[in-house]
Every structure is written in structure tokens, then in C-alpha cells.
Structure 1
Amino acid sequence: MVQIIKKLKIGNLEPKYPIVQGGMAVGISLDGLSSAVANAGGIGVIGTAGIGFFSNIRNYKEASIESLRKYIRNAREKTSGIIGVNIMVALTNYADMVKTAIDEGIDIIFSGAGLPLNLPSFITDNSKTKLVPIISSLKAAQIIVKRWFSKYKYIPDAFVLEGPLAGGHLGYKNNEIFLENKKLENNIPIVKEYLLEVEKKYGKRIPLIAGGGLFSKEDVEKVLNLGADGVQLGTRFIATEECDADINFKEVIINAKEENITIIKSPVGLPGRALKNSFIESVEKGEKKPYECRYHCIKTCDFKNAPYCIAKALYNAAIGDIENGFVFCGAAVSKVNKIQKVEEIINELFEI
């Protein structure tokens, strides 16, 4: 077998394969999936949004900190590979999550759903954690580099560029999702060119990781050939034995057809790609799901007027109660038709 030769190096971190597992939150990628990806030679990522649901502590803020510590430590017990966390800027407990991850010595913080303009402020001289913003445009990369250097004299350790075919919340307006100039393949060379300019100016190499709707070895090769240093995949890793989601959630993924995919209007103010089901259909009809917001977990959530609690809906789905929730997915979900081992997927993507 011939291995695709392309190395992804983020500071002193160098996985065997240039792949990052998307940090799927509210119980989809915890210690099980992230450690399996790390053991298979990729970068495993714990999703932190809603992580407090998976704790017996009733105070959500305290539960989130306790859960994050637990899952990072659990992952460390299972792997000596590279483990990261995905922390949404839009979280009301963003600072707590970042500080906790750094205290636990996490390898990488991936941060999007907003511009992580103050992320370097949490780093200390002793921190080994790498900081990787998630962006959807060249403009976002430019703003972050300018702000981080002017205020903190810090250049990002890498960037993740997410295209509009990704699953979950998207960094695009509704009318931008299907525009030609927003396609991932059109923006990889543009962002890569800018990062090479930054390297020349500041003397620091910034790898570019690209993702959104990727599924096959051919998809991976295409993205790497366009100039990306690595790839990010999320949805395909849901259909694995090691994924932390309930089997009902995984079966929704492997049974999904292309016509089931829909773009929802999320209570947090962003469009999201999901699989249509009775829950989503009832919301679209104007039916409200009565609830009391005990968490206010997302800054941008209009929780006083929202038709449902998205955190609770995603939690319900993750634990197998699909009727009272729904499943986020990437655009390539219809190609996922069986449950595999993580190692099997990574070998398939990088070896012939």
C-alpha cells in the first residue's frame, strides 16, 4: 500500500496522518471517539458545548468544568496521541472552558462559532497548548492575525477553514451557503496564499486544515492538492464503533438519504445543516417546544423567544431520543452507510 505523503505539523505536534476529527459537541465526540482517532494517527477532538449535560452536578457552570476535566483525563488514559478540544466562542462559559482545557494541558484548542479574538489572553508562559481558530473566510483569518499580533504578539498555530458543506452550525449566512465563491475548494488557495504571506512576514508557518462535506480518499487528495496541509472530517466519524453517541444516533446517520438533509434556522442565530425529522418538521410548522432555559449556554441564543432549546434537543438525540431532538450532519452524510472502526476509516482515507 502507498501512503499519501503530506505532513501536518502544528508547532511540535505531528500526527501520523494529516487529519483532524471534527469536534462534534453535546456528546458526539468525547473521550471515546477522540482517543480512538488519536490512537489511529490523527488528531482527536472533544466537543465542549453542552458537555455539562453529562455530569451529575446540577449547576451547569460547575458541571461543564467538571465534565471537561473528566473527559480530557479519560482521553489521556486511553491514548498518548494528540488530543484537542473544540470550544465555541459563542459559549457563555467560553473563558471557563478555555482555562480548564489549558490547565489540563490539552494539546490544541480549536475555536470558532465567532472570532476568537481574545484566545491568546488565556495562555501563560508555561502553556503548551496550541491555538487554532476555525474560520470560513479569508477576511476572518486576516482579522484574527492582525488582532492577535497587535495585542498579544501571537500568531495562530494553524487555521481550520470550514466550507459551507459542513455539518452543524455554519459560519455563513443562509444566502451564502450555496454560492460558488463560498465553496471550500475555491477558498483553500486564497487562504493558503495569505498564510504564506504571514509566514514570510512573521517567520512562523501556519498550517491550513480544511473541511466540510469531505468523505472519501479522493476528497482528501483534492483538498491536499489545493494547498491544504490537513483535512477535517466529522460526520463520517459518527458512524464508528468508538463514537460516543447512542446507536440510534449512528443509525440515523447510516440510513440518511440526500433528500433528508435540510438547512435549519437555529435558535443561536446561525444556519445549521441537519437531517429532517418529525422534531424539525414540527418546529417549521410553528409549533413551540415548551421549556425553561436553565443554562443560557450560548450567548447568541434568543432563549426568551426560541421555539425550543437546541442544547436539550441535541442532548436528547445524542443519548438516542431522536424524536425529541435531531441530528446535525455534513453534506456527504448519504455516502455513510455502515458503522466502521475509526482506524479502518483513516487507513481507507490515506492508503491505497
Structure 2
Amino acid sequence: MKIPKLKIGDLVANMPIVQGGMGVGVSLSNLASAVANCGGIGVISAVEPGFNLDDYYKDKFKANMEGLTYHIRKAKELAPDGIIGVNIMTVLTNFEEMVKLSVKEKVDIIFAGAGMPMKLPALVKGSLTKIAPIVSSGKVAKLICKQWDRKHNYIPDAIVVEGPEAGGHLGFSPEQLEHREDFALTDLVKEVLEAIKPFEEKYNKTIPVIAGGGLYSAEDISEVLKAGASGVQMATRFVATEECDAAIEFKESYVNATEDDVYIIKSPVGLPGRAIYNKFVSDVYENGKPKGIKCVNCIKTCNPKETLYCIADALIQAQRGNLDKGFAFAGAKVHKIKEITSVKNIFEELKEGLSKIEE
């Protein structure tokens, strides 16, 4: 098949691939710039990007603002001609500040999930930064478009629809995840396309739909493109790469994972999440809250008195390779990853695979 370019307004990605945002510290400037240099859209995660700075525990807000500024500038420096985005979870306590900072630093696009970013258009007003909400259904896509249209006279520049096979936080109930075959990504794409049609007609503007969740191969990409998606979001696939910002032990947990190791957790964020089962996960859910964990006040929806563990701390420990004190989120196809490779090799493999698929 002829590989389509992904067009989001005046942004044009030569490969229709968006690298999913992965926190804490899994997708920062190194990974994002590598993806952008290969023709995709590289994405920095805005979840605790200052975790490695000396003053993180003294002034978390300042450290995270400095961390995000550094990684946006570094990614742009490493990929001067590439497209760089930032993924900002709506439930972050500093969501608005992170959006304003990203706009100030002239990021190309902001992806916002884990909640409905109803104020987002007002926060980017007057800038060239594109905005793309992340949704799990046509119903949510319609609701966001309706609110943005009514309150801001604006519609999304793109929409990401994440299916139930994604890694990290999921927009599905545990019951729905048990029957995830009922929520096929191709069906969700069609559902979102139908939901946004009236808004596209009203504004005489195409809203590209980007599909993600459990995509691994060229065949997976082809299937959702044929269903009407303009592009795909892939995250898990880019973790076991030389350029990924996580520790080697984190990457090796992906290479060593089997299909049976994938586990649905109840996250302190208030959403279910897909992770790789390990001793930390086992201990937390069987023995309760670990000792000595400090709350870093990262999530609006988290109640430190009730939660089993601090998710920021667990993800920071995992990013550093301390998997006895944390865990790795991963998508449903993580077991297909067998080696650590390069971002370039993945792009070449997917390009070659897509070129061999019939239209």
C-alpha cells in the first residue's frame, strides 16, 4: 500500500505514526527526537519530567516546569525539522501550567488524555500549537467537540482514539476490558469518525483520527488505516529501543515479558491500567501499601490516605531500573518484542511491511 502522510493542519508527518507519550521519563527528548527524525511525531510525556533534578522533592512544581522546558528545547535541537508534541494528562495538578509552558515553547501539538480537557482551547488561544484530545469512544469525542464548539468556537485539530489493548491508563472499565473483543479498534475508529462528522461539516475542516492501543506490526497499522484512521499511535513498540529514555532494566522487562505477564491494575489515578506483572505489583496488591513512600501530589484524583501506593514514585523507580520498587506499564502486544533495537530499524521495518500490503 502507498504509505499516507499524516496531516494535522499545516503539520505534515511523512510517516503516519505518533509515538505515544509515556511517563514517568520513558518518552522524553531522546526518544521523541528520534521518532521525529524518522518522519513520525515524537512525543514528550509531561508526567513528572523534572523527576531527575536535584530539587524535585523540595519544589516539585518548579522542577517539573524546568524539566519540561529542558526536554522540549532539547528535542527541538536534536530534531530541528521534525514534529515534536507533548502528552499532558488532564488529571495532573499542574495541567494548565504545563499546557501554557508548552505553548510558550512553541511545541507543535499537545495530546491530552486521562480526562476531558474542556478548557484546552482557551489555553492555546492565539498560538500555532495544535491540540488533540485522547478518547476511548465516539460518545466522548462528540462530547468534547460539542463543548469546544459551544464554549470556544473551536474543534480538535486531531483526535486520538485509544482502544482497550493500550498500555498505561485506560478509558475502559475493568468489565469492558474483560470483553475487549467487543471494542475492536477498527470499530472505535468508525464510531469516532461518525461522531465528529457534523463538526467537520460545520467548520469545513477535517479532523484526522489517530488510532492507538495494541498496534505492533505493519498489518496492524494497515487495518486501522483501511478503517478510516489518518494515522496510528504506537508507544509500547518504541520502549525497547536504544533511544528510549528509560533504564536498560526497564527495556529488558519488555523483552522478557510473556503474554501471561500482562496485568490489569487499579491505578491511584482512578483508572484501570495495563502493566507488566512483577514482585512490586504482587506485593502491593497482596500485602498492601509499601512503607516509606512520599506523596508528590501529582494527580488531582489521588487520595494519598486511601491509595495503595504512590504511582509517581513507582514509575520513577521503574524508569531508573529499580523494578523491585515499581512497575512498567505496557500494551497488550508487549510479548511480541524480542530484542532491543533502534527507532530507525522499527520505522524501516514498518515502511517495508506497509509497502508489501495490497491496497
- Per the shorter chain, which TM-score range? over 0.9
Match in the other structure for 1:135:
135
Distance (whole Å) between structure 2 residues aligned to residue 323 and residue 35 of structure 1? 30
TM-superposed CA distance for 1:235, in Å, is: 0.4
The answer to whether 1:156 aligns with 2:163 is no
State the SS of the aligned residue for 1:20. Answer: strand
Query: Is there any run of 5+ residues in structure 2 with no aligned partner, and where?
Result: none
Query: What are the Cα deviations for residues 205-241 of structure 1, in whole angstroms up to 9, with x where unaligned?
Result: 1000001001001001011011100000000100101
Distance (whole Å) between structure 1 residues aligned to residue 280 and residue 76 of structure 2? 37
**Percent of residue pairs bearing the same amino acid type:** 51
Aligned residues of 2:4 and 2:14 also touching (Cα < 8 A): no
Match in the other structure for 2:117:
116
Aligned residues of 2:46 and 2:86 also touching (Cα < 8 A): yes
TM-superposed CA distance for 1:290, in Å, is: 2.1
State the SS of the aligned residue for 1:132. Answer: strand
Aligned residues of 2:34 and 2:42 also touching (Cα < 8 A): yes
Aligned residue type for 1:22: G
TM-score, length-normalised on structure 1?
Answer: 0.97
Match in the other structure for 1:171:
171
Aligned residues of 2:295 and 2:304 also touching (Cα < 8 A): no
Distance (whole Å) between structure 2 residues aligned to residue 143 and residue 48 of structure 1? 25
Distance (whole Å) between structure 2 residues aligned to residue 92 and residue 61 of structure 1? 9
Aligned residue type for 1:96: E
TM-superposed CA distance for 1:304, in Å, is: 1.4
RMSD of aligned C-alpha atoms?
1.2
State the SS of the aligned residue for 2:12. Answer: coil
Match in the other structure for 2:274:
273
Distance (whole Å) between structure 1 residues aligned to residue 295 and residue 303 of structure 2? 13
State the SS of the aligned residue for 1:206. Answer: coil
Return the match for 1:46 from 19, 44, 63: 44
Aligned residues of 2:138 and 2:193 also touching (Cα < 8 A): no
Match in the other structure for 2:231:
230
Distance (whole Å) between structure 1 residues aligned to residue 234 and residue 343 of structure 2? 12
Distance (whole Å) between structure 1 residues aligned to residue 186 and residue 178 of structure 2? 13
Q: Which runs of 4+ in 1 moved over 6 A?
A: none
Query: What are the Cα deviations for residues 251-292 of structure 1, in whole angstroms up to 9, with x where unaligned?
Result: 000111001111011112111100110000011213321245
Aligned residue type for 1:60: K
Match in the other structure for 2:323:
322
Match in the other structure for 2:303:
302
Aligned residue type for 2:207: I
Match in the other structure for 1:289:
290
Aligned length: 349
Aligned residues of 1:145 and 1:155 also touching (Cα < 8 A): yes
Aligned residues of 1:116 and 1:133 also touching (Cα < 8 A): yes
State the SS of the aligned residue for 1:280. Answer: helix
Aligned residues of 2:137 and 2:191 also touching (Cα < 8 A): no
Match in the other structure for 2:211:
210
Aligned residues of 1:15 and 1:43 also touching (Cα < 8 A): yes
The answer to whether 1:8 aligns with 2:9 is no
State the SS of the aligned residue for 2:318. Answer: helix
Q: Which moved more, 1:294-303 or 1:201-210?
A: 294-303
Aligned residue type for 1:7: K
Aligned residues of 2:168 and 2:330 also touching (Cα < 8 A): yes
State the SS of the aligned residue for 1:72. Answer: helix
Query: Is there any run of 5+ residues in structure 1 with no aligned partner, and where?
Result: none
Distance (whole Å) between structure 2 residues aligned to residue 85 and residue 44 of structure 1? 8
Match in the other structure for 2:25:
27
Aligned residues of 1:46 and 1:85 also touching (Cα < 8 A): yes
Distance (whole Å) between structure 2 residues aligned to residue 292 and residue 246 of structure 1? 21
